[in-house]
Structure 1
Amino acid sequence: MTINKQVFALSPIALLLAGCSLSSEPTVSGEISDYKGSASITQGLAKTVEDNLFECANGRSRIAGVGEIADADGKVWTVPANNHFTTAPKAVDLYEGCANITPNSIADVAQESVPVAVIDEDGEEVTGYIFADNYFELYINGQLIAVDTVPFTPFNSSIVKFKVNKPYTIAVKVIDWEENLGLGTEDNRGKAFHPGDGGFIASFSDGTVTSSDWQAQTFYTAPIYDLSCLNEVDGKRLSEDCTTEGTDNGENAYAAHWETPLNWMEQDFNAASWPKATEYSEDEIGVNNKKSYMNFIEKFSGAGASFIWSTNVVLDNEVLLRYEVK
């Protein structure tokens, strides 16, 4: 995410991202061999394999590249994450400035024209309203329903429809995109290597909303400058002790990667070990100046939904979400 320029006095995330810590710029310390956790560790910039997935036809957007980087064992990791942006059906835009889709309210949206993905022919038709910072891929019972139309910026929001019988499983891959591939950073706030933040919120017409009742597991964390700051407790992949400050010398930062289970989106996948999602406020995510959110706020926080992510909304760049609707 390109971090919101507005700084909120009560938001610890905003303070960290604004560089309000008294500590100096982060520098790399330690060796990969010192790390004893379950992640695979890479260091430095990834090789770009896709220059840019998205061109904004009406305005500007950050470059949404894709890279590859090998760990010490030779395993190649895709960063910021494997995705289906170029091949999957796209969600319908609620608001998307690059396409000149800029309604002032939900009343101005032609919801009846949204195509319906069918999981169960005799199922209930459900409408979903989604805002992701930056990118999402939505699965219902393992079927890929739609992906975000904008991988990085500008910020957009989406609407989807599907027919399904209860109980059903919602699974979402969310990605906080990056400019400096493999490092989890972007050129922002006067620093060439500054971490961004994520965030995901959704509500559905059957009453389902994002909350801490969902599960959220981390699969890519960066930038890391001292591997000793990483910790794992009760299934949580924690980075709360890691710095979130920006620097002009972040080329050699570390990143932590975990293998994504092949069937993570399936209804019968066992996610019992995954931690609960962490909720974040609108101020922490920084959406009060985003028309793609505020113009439809009654479908987001107004519907009882909360922003969710893993335990670190700044450093965790690939997160998988799951929720069973009963």
Structure 2
Amino acid sequence: MPRKVRGSDVQGLVFFLAVIIHGCGLPILGSRQSSAIGSGRYRADVWADNWLALYSGTSLVGEDSFPITTERSFNAETIFFDAELPLALNLVAKDFKENDTGLEYIGKPNQQVGDGGVILQVTDTQTGKVVAVTDGKTRCLVIHRAPLRPACASLKNPSLDDCGATVGEEPPGWKLPSFNVTSWPEAKVYSEADVGVKDGYLAIKWNRSAKLVWSGDLKQDNTILCRVPVVTSIP
């Protein structure tokens, strides 16, 4: 006659099987599995003329330690940060301007239209591999352009009416990884001579793939938003 199976025997068998399955690394039905792909620690080296802020997705991970109002600020920054994978990198970069005319040093002998430029490289601290750089595949949107009439820089007291400007807002949600930036123009790559690199730029050993970039106009475009592509590793 078959032995009657008791509830305690069933519970014991279930527990035994659960231990075996867990030991083999198999998921237990009904258990909650983590949806995160993983996380990592990164080092970002960045230089800008004149100011920048770096975001991992929507989280600010670092910005220029000198205010944008600092005259002739050409320092580099090294930023360490932790981030969930997949990594999404966003930059806000600004060239200094005294007001919406886009001019620098207004009322001084060196009154002029300024120029921008930014370079970034991000390294996975565990593998030592560079996983992101600014280059021609970076996409940037201009949200402040001025002066529209650069000749206003020669006026003694230039006004916004003299110079003209196009001023926009940051698109809502643009830092989200899901935000589609394919309609944004690709960044333009500039030479060291174009940008006039100095100071902090010279203190960083840049990966050969990292490029100085900006929008299509190095002088008139003052504020840009950029999405920096991320890869597994860069030679």
Shared fold (TM-score, shorter chain, > 0.5): yes
Classify 1:219/1:244 alpha carbon distance in 2 versus 1 (closer, same or farther; 3 Å).
farther
Matches within 5 A, 1:267-278: 267-278=177-188
The CA distance in 2 between the partners of 1:269 and 1:176, in whole Å, is: 25
Q: Secondary structure at the match of 2:193?
A: helix
In the alignment, is residue 128 of structure 1 matched against residue 44 of structure 2? Answer: yes
Q: How does 1:193-208 map to 2 (within 5 A)?
A: 193-205=111-123, 206-207=129-130, 208=132
Contact in 2 for aligned 1:175/1:198 (Cα 8 Å): yes
CA shift digits 1:95-153 (9 cap, x unpaired): xxxxxxxxxxxxxxxxxxxxxxxxx8941211110101111111112211111111334
> Which runs of no fewer than 5 residues in structure 2 stay unpaired?
1-35, 124-128
The answer (yes or no) to whether the contact 1:167–1:324 under 8 Å persists in 2 is no
The one of 279, 283, 287 equivalent to 2:189 is 279
Q: Answer yes or no: is 1:218 the counterpart of 2:126.
A: no
TM-score (norm 2): 0.71
Q: Is 1:294 matched up with 2:199?
A: no
Contact 1:138 1:173 in 2 (8 A): yes
1:63-108 deviations in whole A, cap 9, x for unaligned?
xxxxxxxxxxxxxxxxxxxxxxxxxxxxxxxxxxxxxxxxxxxxxx
* CA root-mean-square deviation: 2.3
Counterpart pick for 1:260 among 165, 170, 175: 170
- Residue 176 of structure 1 is aligned with which of 81, 95, 99? 95
Q: Which residue of 1 aligns with 2:209?
A: 304
Greater helix proportion? 2
Q: Which has the larger radius of gyration?
A: 2
Matches of 2:181 and 2:199, distance apart in 1 = 35
Q: For the Cα contact (< 8 Å) 1:198–1:317, is it kept in 2?
A: yes
**Cα deviation per residue 1:159-198 (whole Å; 9 max; x = unaligned)?**
111223443211111111112x11100128x756411000
1:200 and 1:217 mapped to 2: Cα distance? 14
Task: Show structure 1 runs of 5+ residues with no match.
Answer: 1-119, 226-242
Amino acid aligned to 1:187: Y
2 CA distance for matches of 1:285 and 1:245? 22
Percent identity, aligned pairs only? Answer: 28
User: One-letter code of the match for 1:295?
Assistant: A
Query: Conserved in 2, the CA contact under 8 Å of 1:192 and 1:248?
Result: no
How much does 1:303 deviate?
Answer: 4.1
Amino acid at match of 2:192: E
**Partner SS state of residue 126, structure 1:** strand
Do the aligned partners of residues 303 and 124 (structure 1) sit closer, same or farther apart at CA in structure 2, a change above 3 Å counting? farther
Letter in 1 for 2:140: A
Give distance in 1, aligned partners of 2:152 and 2:190.
20
Aligned equivalents of 1:245, 1:159: Cα separation in 2: 37
TM-score for both structures, normalised by structure 1: 0.52
